[in-house]
Amino acid sequence: MAQVILSGLYVDPNETWLARQREEIIDPRRPIIDSHHHLWDGSRPRYLLDEILEDVGSGHNVVATVFVECRSMYRATGPTDMAPVGEVEFVNGVAAISASGNYGQTRLCDGIVGSADLRAGADVKALLEAHIRAGGGRFRGIRQVSAWDADPNVMRPMPTRPMGLLQDTAFRAGFACLAPLRLSFDAFLLHPQIPELIDLARAFPETRIVLDHVGGAIGIGSYASRRDEVFRDWQQSIRALAKCENVWVKLGGLGMRLGGFDFHTREIPASSLELANAWRPYIETCIEAFGPQRSMFESNFPPDKGTCSYAVLWNAFKRITTNFSEVDKSAMFAGAAANFYHLKN
């Protein structure tokens, strides 16, 4: 099996390899809102309309999805600071195609999270308003990746972000523009940075924030031999962050190489039972801390597709939540995402 590492964080999906693990769909009628996926082409393997349709159509009842920025389809001309609007225009076009009903019942990209450099301060408002116009009623918020670590092997070869971005004065001036426009913030960072997010959330209690990928617990580079220590530190930070009532959490992202799991190296992909057993401590910690009403499952496809298929991924999540009540399951699989992103459930 030949998996190709795209970055320190994830691996290139291999469809032939993924097909070696087939499973019956667990609880196939349960409504799901996939709260986090990407669409891209070019330097990365293609993942556009056809590819996501195949995944969401693999057996689970995915009623809607949320697109999250990935520097895709930026404008090639015009003012540089407006280039990210091209991504929202592109994704809104995909959403419009989906809304025709000609490609199934899933409302693809029903919510759109775009990109902005909030270090522009108050001037970023013009970009945010342009995103809103381009989103056709679907634009919901911003993600500005702040993931940084002193170990260069953790993020390499992804772009370097500045240390302490969430504490930057100019960033916070731009961040202050979100709540008045009813926009949320997706936070992608690494677990040692969670205290910085706690400080940000406390400073802006009126702004809705969602922590992506269970907080980016690192299991590679210099962290690879320290899993128990990392888990304890991560767990403590998660519990502290959950005390901020304006913060939600996304349950997923554990299929990336970042977490240090080796499933992508196997001859046969892991089963949903194996994934559930490995991921359960992280997901259950988050649910216990944030509660089901502020916890939403995500596919994080295609990055997590380097570990498992869409069908197996959601089976793993369903296995982890077997003993939860129907009310709690409904919240985590659809309700929390609908609430946070203002979507139809």
| Digit-coded pLDDT (tens) for 196-235 | 999 999 999 999 999 999 999 999 999 999 999 999 999 9
Q: Which long-range contacts (CB under 8 A, 24 or more apart) does 19-23 make?
A: 19/309, 20/267, 20/268, 20/269, 21/268, 21/269, 21/270, 21/271, 21/308, 21/309, 21/312, 23/271, 23/272, 23/311, 23/312, 23/315
3-state secondary structure of 28: coil
Task: Pinpoint the alpha helices (H) of the chain.
Answer: 15-18, 49-56, 85-99, 125-134, 152-155, 169-175, 194-203, 227-241, 272-290, 310-320, 326-330, 336-341
Give the pLDDT band of residue 1 (cuts 50, 70, 90).
very low
**Residues, the chain:** 345
pLDDT at 5: 47
Higher confidence at residue 122 or residue 8?
122
Proportion of the chain above pLDDT 90, given as a percent? 91
Mean pLDDT of 68-93: 97
pLDDT at 118: 98
Query: What span, in angstroms and rounded, lies between the C-alpha atoms of 255 and 151?
Result: 21
Predicted confidence (pLDDT) at residue 54 exceeds the cutoff of 90:
yes
Predicted confidence (pLDDT) at residue 191 exceeds the cutoff of 50:
yes
pLDDT in tens, 14-51: 999 999 999 999 999 999 999 999 999 987 889 999 99
Q: Enumerate the β-bridge partners of residue 107.
A: 64
Mean pLDDT of 154-164: 77
pLDDT at 157: 60
Predicted confidence (pLDDT) at residue 299 exceeds the cutoff of 90:
yes
Predicted confidence (pLDDT) at residue 284 exceeds the cutoff of 90:
yes
pLDDT in tens, 326-340: 999 999 999 999 999
Give the pLDDT band of residue 161 (cuts 50, 70, 90).
confident
- Its pTM stands at 0.96
Predicted confidence (pLDDT) at residue 8 exceeds the cutoff of 70:
no
pLDDT at 4: 46
3-state secondary structure of 88: helix
Surface-to-core class of residue 234, CB atoms within 10 Å of its CB (0-12 exposed, 13-18 middle, 19+ buried)? buried
Domains plus CATH for the chain? 27-341 (3.20.20.140)
Mean pLDDT of 304-314: 97
Predicted confidence (pLDDT) at residue 2 exceeds the cutoff of 70:
no
